[in-house]
Structure 1
Amino acid sequence: MMRAIGIVGYKKSGKTTLLLKLAKELIGRGYQVAAIKHISGDIDIANSDTTKYKEYLSQVAAITTKESILYLEGKSNLEEILKFLDADIILIEGFKNEKTFPKIVCLRKENEKTELFDGLQLGTASVFPPNTSYDFSTFNILKIEDIKKMTDLVIEKSFKLPNLNCGACGHQDCYGLAQEIVKGNRTIDDCPSLEPSTLVKVNGKIISMNPFIAKIVKNTIIGLLSTLKGFTKGDIEIKIKQK
């Protein structure tokens, strides 16, 4: 099951510094970590052939013996990008308007919390020594003991809802359930779409389906297979190799 946590805040609030410190601590504890960063502007590698390719091509991949980079022209939403990642925990910098995962809010000034709090905050962080009392944890990005505490929080509280807004959990959208999970009133197990009665995997990754679609897929498969000789009730496993 995918787990994620957001790191949000305004420019020069310490978001990247916090992400790197959390990533290092998580990796040191044996977790596989991935990161997604929202950038306002173009992505360019100065004076490289890859940049020249991008002037003419909408899809460019750069591959070396050590790493690979894939460029896709046009805006892709967060859910599409997440499908490319394989990690225990995904750290998401920016994307403050996304509402399907908990967040740590990086503050430069106290009054920014009014603009950045959306009910999904687990705590606040700052590059300055905290001098104000909040109703929840406040961390100093520059203190190693606070980084360790935030890492504990990430491991314990990170989650990612599928953004299907199916309503099967009793809330109008995933945002409503996410807020209740952060408050401790609900858990990730309350999302039916993450553990549907019909489980579909593509390249080993679960494809999220709302209960309505899952029921259609289930009934269609059972309807087709029930006409075959030897079919009996029970768990069904189908494997399809795409050429």
Structure 2
Amino acid sequence: MRAIAVVGFKKSGKTTLAMELAEALKKQGLTVTMVKHSHHGFDEKAETDTARFRTRADMVMGFSPGGSFVSWPAERPLAELLPLVSTDFLVMEGGKTMGLMPRIIIAGDEATARELDPELALAAYGDHALDELMATRDVAGLARIASKAGFLLPGLDCGACGRENCRGLAVDIVAGTATVADCKAMNNSIRITVGGQPLPLNPFVERILRSGILGMLSELKGYIPGKVDIHIE
């Protein structure tokens, strides 16, 4: 899955740009999921059924011909929500501290831009270049950049790629000195998908699974060492 974050401070226009960017990506023929990250929670009127349910339950779900939703009372890591996603592209509004994907920043000056982790930025939305970072108000152009250079790392921070964490690899990918293929958790000898979504494995877990599976198979009659394919419905 490819992804891009739209990052800026409050009232900077993040929501509008994220929505326009999602629409421009859809015009490219991509299916899009929009995600909002907020440090302040989500405003939900107390009189709604959903709000009333949340006072009684640990999790609330809803479905109708017009749509479906899942609601938890506490923050969930993005990695736990991704199995629900089946689109080509993810557009996140917010997530200033997340280093799993590249970003488009909204900043009126270089001082503000420096607070938005420009090392992860593919471009800036605005009229003036920020510290050599290209700035534009051409949303269709930004969508083309995002569709070409967007990516999403697993967030395991396993260090197997030689960086301290996933952000370190993301910075190098944006800089053009690394690629997503350098993520060992997403490119190893065991590839698992659950519901069509890849399940990243850090090298330690991969070795445990590999040794355990091969060890059990070797005890079965008819086993011959070679490439192993296991499919579970």
TM-score, normalised by the number of residues in structure 1: 0.89
Tell me how far 1:110 sits from its aligned partner: 4.1
Residues 131, 169 of structure 1: alpha-carbon distance in 2 compared, 3 angstrom cutoff: closer
The letter of the residue matching 1:15 is K
User: Is 1:35 aligned to 2:25, yes or no?
Assistant: no
Alignment of 1:5-84 (within 5 A): 5-39=4-38, 40-45=40-45, 47-84=47-84
| Contact kept in structure 1, 2:110 and 2:131, CA below 8 Å | no
Aligned residues: 232
Match of 2:191 in 1: 199
SS at match of 2:35: strand
SS at match of 2:22: helix
SS at match of 2:84: coil
Tell me how far 1:23 sits from its aligned partner: 0.7
Tell me how far 1:207 sits from its aligned partner: 0.9
The letter of the residue matching 1:164 is L
SS at match of 2:164: coil
User: Is 1:180 aligned to 2:208, yes or no?
Assistant: no
Tell me how far 1:118 sits from its aligned partner: 4.4
Match of 1:217 in 2: 209
User: Is 1:235 aligned to 2:222, yes or no?
Assistant: no
Tell me how far 1:237 sits from its aligned partner: 2.2
Q: Distance in 2 between matches of 1:216 and 1:138?
A: 47
The letter of the residue matching 1:76 is R
Q: Distance in 2 between matches of 1:34 and 1:182?
A: 22
Alignment of 1:17-166 (within 5 A): 17-39=16-38, 40-45=40-45, 47-126=47-126, 130-131=127-128, 134-140=131-137, 146-166=138-158
For residues 68-98 of structure 1, give each alpha carbon's deviation from its aligned partner in whole angstroms, at most 9, with x where no partner exists.
0111122212222223212111011111001
Tell me how far 1:113 sits from its aligned partner: 1.0
Tell me how far 1:240 sits from its aligned partner: 3.3
| Contact kept in structure 2, 1:4 and 1:89, CA below 8 Å | yes
Q: Distance in 1 between matches of 2:130 and 2:202?
A: 41
| Contact kept in structure 1, 2:105 and 2:123, CA below 8 Å | yes
The letter of the residue matching 1:137 is M
The letter of the residue matching 2:77 is N
| Contact kept in structure 2, 1:4 and 1:90, CA below 8 Å | yes
| Contact kept in structure 2, 1:166 and 1:210, CA below 8 Å | yes
TM-score, normalised by the number of residues in structure 2: 0.93
Residues 132, 201 of structure 1: alpha-carbon distance in 2 compared, 3 angstrom cutoff: closer
Q: Distance in 2 between matches of 1:159 and 1:4?
A: 5
Structure 2: any 5+ residue segments left out of the alignment?
none
Structure 1: any 5+ residue segments left out of the alignment?
141-145
SS at match of 2:60: strand
Tell me how far 1:43 sits from its aligned partner: 4.1
